[in-house]
Structure 1
């Protein structure tokens, strides 16, 4: 079955251009001009990936991303933000909202398709991962979920797909220190351009997800070097 890509863009010319490029690459495009149309498209069939414009009528793309990350039906769908806002703070704001990648307008369809393939590939690799437990934290690769607590008394941890990938890398490489460039290369891949500050954004999000279970200290900052994951949380 073709991968379905939902294109949420209010400018018809850009929407049609992206839909054409997506269909030529053997994906199934579905288009929406605003938040309401996007929600209807998702209700009809959950897409494999969402291309989301930052500026939309009524509800912004940022607010939509936050809403979808809170919804069990949509929280694991990869999201690529399409934005004319190229400032670092704006891009970090998108990452904080839970998007997986961003493409700054104007963009080439070749670049966009490369980003789509990279994000879908990472999502597929996540689905194939096995399960792992370290201390009071367990990652279920088949279910794509994270749990905290002792066996038999676990609670689900609310975590986005990018944070899931980062936490999976940490848990499979425990007690080793990794620099930001190394984490970018291992978690995001060398074919996708993202800034080193991206790592800090997602580390904060993972820590925030683990904080209610007093496990946020498992991800430790090594000053001047990077980050380390340890089974013994710091206090």
Structure 2
């Protein structure tokens, strides 16, 4: 794995959202959507790409709840069925899949991972990416292994790890908190941070919420730009946050 500060080649910034098949005690995980932004530094152009992996199966979607310092203080859980377009279904902690439900769930999950592999194999060579940048790489590495997707010489960059190492932080900061530090915003037609702004094509504007594949890919992309090119400003804001958080711990 390489550092985000290495090189000026074309890169893909992406986020994969996952769900656990409902009733499997989190034993079966599958991708449910992916968002990606390809950046060409030669002309500072970007390209948006996204895919939803829609199957008729109920999945648990777990989201960390963090405080102002990026520390996890809880977890929010919802149930959804992407194939049927059903969301915010009731969640029962004690529910278990009946009978042969788990083998069927594993087959469905593997189909979703196959979809993920096909998506990755289509975008990486198309945009001639030399690196894939994610925020916290553990889940993506696990997903790529399950999907059978080979990086094949393409670097995998963990932006969260690079930021933690650079600032010598005791704890990692969440993407939610770092996005606030760079003043990330979207008005639907653009994504913006303190020093950067890019237009968003019409077909992707409804996908920009936080904790969506495209929304988190956009936040990762602009955070990387600020980290690479406007480091003194970001450094000042992060050091202020570190002083505040360490004083509260």
> Which structure ranks higher in relative contact order (CA pairs < 8 Å, sequence separation ≥ 6)?
2
Greater per-residue helix proportion:
1
More strand by share: 2
